[in-house]
Structure 1
Amino acid sequence: MAPKTVLITGCGPGGIGSALATEFHMRGHRVIATGLSEALLAHLRDRGMETVILDVTSAASIEQAVSHVSKLTGGTLDILINNAGLLHIMPFADTSVEGARRLFDVNVLGVIAVTRAFLPLLLNAATAARESGGGGGPLVANICSINSEVRPPYFSIYNATKAAVEVLSGTIRPELAPLGIRVVVVKTGAIKSEFFNNTPLVKLPEDSLYRPAREFIEGRKVLENTPYMETEVYAKKVVDTLLRPSVKPVIWQGALTTFGWILSWFGWEGMLDGLYIRFNELNKCAIHST
């Protein structure tokens, strides 16, 4: 296989983006790792990867990144992986609109902005693929989550952003297919990365309706006893799949994905509500005097 040029967003240390970048690089592909600062990308640059500063919420940053990458690659890009994202753990009733907007800015609008900006490079790669008869063509892979299926409490805004990206991906897939660009959703399960550790701890408002469950929520006990797949294992499996000549529209990878797949297939809406109420201590908040 000829080496691919791969651009990945959100490549900070210990995360999925970093692991994917490392896996592609180890296989001889050209990796352009992006992140908010050079400091966050130093560990990848030291391994011989190219790094570019990219803030997915900044039009100016995206424009500069596209210009820089275009010069580096001669105006083409084989694989774009939209991985940059934020997490928010908080009861819906205690979530500010500003906080929700910030999450959508990064997790959803960031995907839209980056993908649109790099379309010319992907189109150039599609033209080259057609002319060479090599097949496959350029690929956009959007890192999504099984949370859009399992919908755990306290993750409402995060769950919504991942569902939005999944629907976006499914909609643009047939739009971009005639142009030679493939679009894939990576439905990611529980991964042992720094994603949770890099997310600030929540503190419930003093007048929260959920203060009987304060210790559970602020202590992130919702994450206890969750099985995780090692980040490196996840990256290897995802890269294996993305490099195939033919890739399914949806890739399920990570711990608990079988459970998420079953829920998506049978559509048992509300089946988990009772369990969620009990095991997330929501039952303590059922009758709560303010």
Structure 2
Amino acid sequence: MTQLTSLGITTLPLDVLSQPSIDTCASQLSSLDILVNNAGAMYAMPISDLSIPKAKELFDLNLWSYLAVTQAFLPLLLKSNGIIANHTSSASVITLPFQATYNASKAAVAVYSDTLRLELEPFGVRVVDLKSGSAASNMGTEAKVLAGKAAILPKGSLYEVAKERVERSMSGVDYQKGAVSAEVWAEGVVSELLKGRTPKVVWRGKGAWLVSYLALLPSWVTDGIWKGMTGLDVVAKAVNVAGKGK
């Protein structure tokens, strides 16, 4: 924030999980052209092992905060015929193992966003879905904060047969390889939002366009890809070997 201030940009505190903070921030603005809902965190864990309270925490941040912020700033956007850009991620259209809670939260935002687009169209407010691929961020750190520690399988997990491979997948380290910088991602998104014809969806970041095409393919094609990416194929082999040894 200090860097932004040095560039002459005015910054305001905003806790998207606090309604009083949201209301206070909104009350300090007299106009608004573009609202970007970008807050979010990751929670990776097999469905059979995940913590329901932690999953609810993730939805509070990844979904409900978007609605709360949008409602608070909507009066300003109605005056300016502005734009609402919701960061849903390319994860909203794929079924990546061990990321069900995160993907489901992003899919929920995507449906909410597209519905909002239709509802606000008569009033001149445009809504854009940002389906981003990998971009450099502190998402991994946020995931550790949410989980209380790095992603580790609980003792007795079904996936202990391939513990090291699964935990590597849960860490997200492989997905960040080759990720575009935050600056490159932001420049691309801004150029799309400022086009004469505002797009409904913006695909930016490493792998985003690939995911957009894979989402069109039948599951019998993509299942193998997702299994290989996450180590679920290693789990299947380990379970098969263990079964033969009985």
Q: Structure 1-normalised TM-score?
A: 0.74
SS at structure 2 position matched to 1:271: helix
Structure holding more helix per residue:
2
Are the equivalent residues in 1 in contact too, given 2:58–2:105 (CA < 8 A)?
yes
Equivalent residue, structure 1, for 2:201: 250
| 1:263 Cα offset (Å) | 2.2
| 1:262 Cα offset (Å) | 0.9
Measured in 2, the distance between the counterparts of 1:155 and 1:166 equals: 16
CA RMSD of aligned residues (A): 2.0
Is 1:124 aligned to residue 79 of structure 2? yes
Measured in 2, the distance between the counterparts of 1:152 and 1:139 equals: 30
Is 1:109 aligned to residue 64 of structure 2? yes
Give structure 2 stretches of 5+ with no counterpart: 145-149
Residue 213 of structure 1, aligned match among 157, 162, 167 = 162
Measured in 2, the distance between the counterparts of 1:278 and 1:123 equals: 46
Are the equivalent residues in 1 in contact too, given 2:40–2:62 (CA < 8 A)?
yes
Measured in 2, the distance between the counterparts of 1:256 and 1:244 equals: 23
| 1:278 Cα offset (Å) | 4.1
Change (3 A) 1:83 1:222: closer
| 1:118 Cα offset (Å) | 0.6
Measured in 2, the distance between the counterparts of 1:222 and 1:56 equals: 25
Equivalent residue, structure 2, for 1:100: 55
Matching residue's letter, 1:63: D
Question: Percent of counterpart pairs with the same letter?
Answer: 37
Are the equivalent residues in 1 in contact too, given 2:214–2:222 (CA < 8 A)?
no
SS at structure 2 position matched to 1:223: coil
| 1:52 Cα offset (Å) | 1.6
Alignment of 1:1-290 (within 5 A): 41-68=1-28, 70=29, 74=30, 76-126=31-81, 138-200=82-144, 201-220=150-169, 223-224=173-174, 226-264=177-215, 266-286=216-236, 287=239
Q: Deviations over 1:225-254 (max 9, x none)?
A: 743222211111111111122111011111
| 1:279 Cα offset (Å) | 4.4
Change (3 A) 1:199 1:242: same
Measured in 1, the distance between the counterparts of 2:54 and 2:160 equals: 20
Q: Deviations over 1:133-185 (max 9, x none)?
A: xxxxx100111211122332211111111111111111111210111100011
Higher RCO (C-alpha under 8 Å, 6+ residues apart):
2
SS at structure 2 position matched to 1:219: helix
Matching residue's letter, 2:60: D
| 1:267 Cα offset (Å) | 4.1
Are the equivalent residues in 2 in contact too, given 1:123–1:180 (CA < 8 A)?
yes
SS at structure 2 position matched to 1:80: strand
